[in-house]
Amino acid sequence: MYAITGVTGHVGSAAARTLRAANQPIRTVARDPSKGDVVADFADTSALTKAFDGCDGAFVLLPTVPPFTEAAHHELSASIADAVRASSLRHVVLLSSWGADLPAGTGPVRWLYHLENLLRDTGATVTAIRAPHFQEKVETVLEAATGAGVYPVFGDSADVPVPMVATRDIGEAVANALVSPPAASEIVVLEAPSYTERQVADALGEQLGRPLSVVTIPRPGWLGALTAAAVPEQLAEELVALYAADADGRLLPRGDRRVRCTTGITATLREVTG
């Protein structure tokens, strides 16, 4: 039996679908009783422990939650780790990120560094799956694209290719890791096709049936652009740090082994816009 958290999100739902397709028994975990087999919140250690009890493995992630502070996410991480320790779990798969090897200077990714290490101290075998950019991040610009026909890019250039992974591929990697656990804790780095933001904008425009105007936002304007879009200031500051780490080349694919993901951007955009 495998416990799947985050089942209402892209990765958790993809992992659940993959496991079900392979006839593997799963226990979905959600805050809404209508969305999962059991009800638990990451902050509720007792409920999460019960959700994990009796399972051979579990998939966990670290959501970004208000008030978007380090203290709040360290509390959440401690709750997850305590539940893993208190339950009978032998193996836990964590959705992590490129750059999670760094303790600071990466915005919210540094919280994953902290959680990776907390989980390793639980005694369970840990598979940390470090992913690059999600292809589905395009969802954050859909309103601007469908409304004003604009594709905003946080950077000085829209022509730098970066790896972008489809969440369906991440979910498959999660499912494979759960079914075939390693003998010892490991870090799995996901590799994916690379695209420039301009290529993504062109592909999105094709799906929408209209050309999109790519607008780059230089670094000095990042914080103002985010807060103008109603992003809370604390979260906006964290995102600026993340964007800076990415632009400066600090989010690198470091790990024990690599898994190549192959889903292309067109297939993902077709789903996102469908």
Query: Residue 171 sits in which domain range?
Result: 2-273
CATH number of the structural domain spanning residue 259: 3.40.50.720
| Extended beta strands in the chain, E state | 2-4, 26-30, 38-39, 57-60, 91-97, 125-131, 133-134, 150-154, 162-165, 186-191, 194-195, 213-217, 257-260
Each residue's pLDDT expressed in tens, for the chain with a length of 274 residues = 999 999 999 999 999 999 999 999 999 999 999 999 999 999 999 999 999 999 999 999 999 999 999 999 999 999 999 999 999 899 999 999 999 999 999 999 999 999 999 999 999 999 999 999 999 999 999 999 999 999 999 999 999 999 999 999 999 999 999 999 999 999 999 999 999 999 999 999 999 999 999 999 999 999 999 999 999 999 999 999 999 999 999 999 999 999 999 999 999 999 999 9
Q: Would you mind telling me the total number of residues written for the chain in this entry?
A: 274
Structurally, how many domains does the chain consist of? 1
The DSSP 8-state label assigned to residue 26 in this structure reads: E
Distance of alpha carbon 89 from alpha carbon 60, whole angstroms:
12
> Computed over its alpha carbons, how large is the radius of gyration of the chain?
19
Distance of alpha carbon 20 from alpha carbon 26, whole angstroms:
7
What pTM does this model have? 0.97
Give the DSSP letter string of 121-150. Answer: TTSSEEEEEEE-EEGGGGGGGHHHHHHT-E
